Structure 1
Amino acid sequence: MTEHRHRLREFESLRAVITTGTTIGAARRLGISQSAVSRSLSQLEARVGRSLFLRRSGRIDPTDEALRLNEKLDPIFETLADIEGAEWATPDNEPLRLIVPPTLAHHFVISRVASFLQKNEGKQLQLDIQATDVLVAGILDLRYDLGLTSAMIQRTGVHLMPWRRSQVVCAMPSNHPLSEKRVVTPQDLEGVALIEFLRRLGTRAITEKIFARAGIRPKQVAETATNMAALELVREGLGVTLINPFPLLSSGMEGVVVRPFDAAIFYDTSFVLPSGRPPSQLARQFMQFVKLTTPHDKYSEPV
């Protein structure tokens, strides 16, 4: 029995280092010392007979073997979380801790939250509005129970449950010459004033590859971090932008014309949950409510 407890501590350390990215973060998350985390990792590596992390210049990066082992551990920790009572041991009056980025919050989620609480008297919900990187960190640290985002997230430790899919569109001022076209192609943007997204955001690299393959160069006039900022710049007549239409453009926007863009860029709007931890009953109720009450729109479809 003692040996099994030691192995469980080793696995906990492995998962904590992978999800937090550092032994310090793992120690903080597990409530133990950094040396205890390092010792558990060394014991686990000795047990399996291979290196699970690359240690260099103060960094610790998981190997492919570590990531595969972590995936195999998911069912074990999901079962443990269920036994420990993620649902049945949670008081009925415990609030749902929800985190959402600004665009989804102000143009979609707030109305869903209001309707959900009106239909479920006595339930409580805490809504935090933060950028997606803060959302991911909060889910990893278990400070939030549930998140929603349309960002392209690839991060161990968080589980994405897509529920809405949309395709990129080209948004432009109402008097723009491209508004005469039924579909905008990459070639149509040669030399056209374009509002782009910051390089740290996932879609920027995708659009740049599309432009490179087409051999064209739009005229970059501005970079921004949010869909709302991009659309406001479009409405001011600064240029066009390539954007996820859900939910901002679901009901249209005055002064902005939208045309399909001929490129296979898709966005999944997803619920975000911590890996290895089943959602609470209240989180499941809210997710189901959102799925059932999302109105039909011409830019997105259920997944």
Structure 2
Amino acid sequence: MVKKSSWSGGWATLRDLEIIKTLIEVRTATLAAELLGISQPAISRTLSLIESRSGCVLFKREKGKLIPNSDALSLYEEIVKISDSFERLTKFEWNKEEKKSLRIISTPTIAYCFLMPLTAQYIKENPDVTVKIDIVTASKLLSNLNEGRADIALGDSSLNTASINVSAFPLRRTKIVCAMNRLDELASKDVITPEDLNQKRMIVFTKRNISRTKLDRVLDKSGVSYNIIAEVSDSYLALDFVRANVGVCLMPSFPVSTINDPQIIFKDFIPEVLNDSSFFTLSNLNSPHIQRYLEYIYQKQPIPDRYSEPL
């Protein structure tokens, strides 16, 4: 039998295997040389070196013919597999795959205002892809991902990933802004500070919202006292209250600042509070069609603006 050998300094190169394959198929060194475009002595010399390195005689010489033995034919089966693999690679078409599915989860506002329009465009450009998008709370993003209910999660970059093996793909950095109705008494100010919010009617996020935690730290440090008139789970709901002019809300500017609503304006908030968003996937998930989707969304996201920028 052919001795086992590592490819590093092993007994045959890919060119050597091509020569063995051709010799088995045509049975003469002369014809093999003609097919491979090298000299007959080169074929014979290579075969001699292969048999010497492997420690195995592969052919029986009979009347000018090279008759492969069982070892040679066993080797031939493996060479054909390698040859077929290279043949598939030569015909490989980038980005051409069988129909693939993407299971995506996200929090409401960024899903409705940002992710869904771009995903719809992605499907138009990639008709071989099907998509399932679920809306979940931020607290369930990583658990759903870890339990195999989704391939991709989009959420706040500060989500605690310590307990599961996930990879993060940063998407965008966003400033917290103050959303208000155009008729609000603060509408004439260019910049809103915590002191401006003292005793102000406020719409705030529920305590499980990561942005609420960040903002509570800032407002608590300033010592101001404000009047909470509504707690909501996402920015979309907050904007409904703002539109009705019942209060103001501190919220991540992206993607709500892209909403064209004549009743709502956004003001800078100082001190600056940043909110980063990222895609998350399981670390052991090596899928080209998932990576292609992430790259597409990243490249198609809005250019940098006053309040946010790609990471």
Q: Does the aligned pair in 2 maintain the 1:94–1:124 contact within 8 Å?
A: yes
Q: Give the drift of 1:148.
A: 1.2
Verify: 1:153 aligned to 2:159, yes or no: yes
Q: What residue in structure 2 maps to residue 294 of structure 1?
A: 301
Q: Give the drift of 1:144.
A: 1.1
User: Matched residues, percent identical?
Assistant: 27
Partner SS, residue 177 of structure 1: coil
Q: How does 1:35-54 map to 2 (within 5 A)?
A: none
Q: Give the drift of 1:133.
A: 2.7
Q: Does the aligned pair in 1 maintain the 2:105–2:141 contact within 8 Å?
A: yes
Q: Give the drift of 1:231.
A: 1.0
Alpha-carbon distance in structure 2 between the residues aligned to 1:293 and 1:256: 26
Alpha-carbon distance in structure 1 between the residues aligned to 2:104 and 2:214: 29
Q: What residue in structure 1 maps to residue 202 of structure 2?
A: 194
In the alignment, structure 1 segments of 5+ residues that lack a partner are 1-90
1:103 aligned to 76, 86, 109, which one? 109
Q: 1:267 to 1:288 in 2, by over 3 A?
A: same
Partner SS, residue 192 of structure 2: coil
Q: How does 1:57-72 map to 2 (within 5 A)?
A: none
Q: Which AA in structure 2 matches 1:294?
A: Q
Is 149-158 or 174-183 further displaced after alignment?
149-158
Alpha-carbon distance in structure 2 between the residues aligned to 1:205 and 1:287: 28
Q: What residue in structure 2 maps to residue 281 of structure 1?
A: 288
Q: How does 1:26-41 map to 2 (within 5 A)?
A: none
Q: Give the drift of 1:151.
A: 6.6
Verify: 1:180 aligned to 2:188, yes or no: yes
Q: Give the drift of 1:209.
A: 2.1
Q: 1:182 to 1:279 in 2, by over 3 A?
A: farther
Q: Give the drift of 1:278.
A: 3.7
Q: TM-score if structure 2 supplies the norm length?
A: 0.64
2:214 aligned to 181, 199, 206, which one? 206
Q: Give the drift of 1:268.
A: 1.0
Q: Does the aligned pair in 2 maintain the 1:149–1:270 contact within 8 Å?
A: yes
Q: Does the aligned pair in 1 maintain the 2:156–2:210 contact within 8 Å?
A: no
Q: Does the aligned pair in 1 maintain the 2:109–2:236 contact within 8 Å?
A: yes
Alpha-carbon distance in structure 2 between the residues aligned to 1:251 and 1:200: 25
Q: Give the drift of 1:291.
A: 1.2
Q: Give the drift of 1:212.
A: 2.3
Deviations 1:119-158 (A, max 9, x none): 1232222222222233222111122111112474113213
Q: TM-score if structure 1 supplies the norm length?
A: 0.66
Q: What residue in structure 1 maps to residue 255 of structure 2?
A: 247
Is 215-224 or 234-243 further displaced after alignment?
215-224
In the alignment, structure 2 segments of 5+ residues that lack a partner are 1-96
Q: What residue in structure 1 maps to residue 243 of structure 2?
A: 235
Alpha-carbon distance in structure 2 between the residues aligned to 1:299 and 1:253: 17
Q: Give the drift of 1:232.
A: 0.8
Higher relative contact order (CA 8 A, sep 6+): 1
Q: Does the aligned pair in 1 maintain the 2:138–2:209 contact within 8 Å?
A: no
Q: 1:254 to 1:279 in 2, by over 3 A?
A: farther
Q: Structure 1 runs of 4+ off > 3 angstroms?
A: none
Alpha-carbon distance in structure 1 between the residues aligned to 2:156 and 2:258: 14
Aligned length: 212
Q: Does the aligned pair in 2 maintain the 1:250–1:298 contact within 8 Å?
A: no
2:150 aligned to 144, 150, 154, which one? 144
Q: Does the aligned pair in 2 maintain the 1:168–1:263 contact within 8 Å?
A: no
Alpha-carbon distance in structure 2 between the residues aligned to 1:151 and 1:201: 13
Alpha-carbon distance in structure 2 between the residues aligned to 1:217 and 1:279: 49
Q: Give the drift of 1:200.
A: 1.7
Q: Does the aligned pair in 2 maintain the 1:167–1:244 contact within 8 Å?
A: yes
Q: Which AA in structure 2 matches 1:94?
A: K
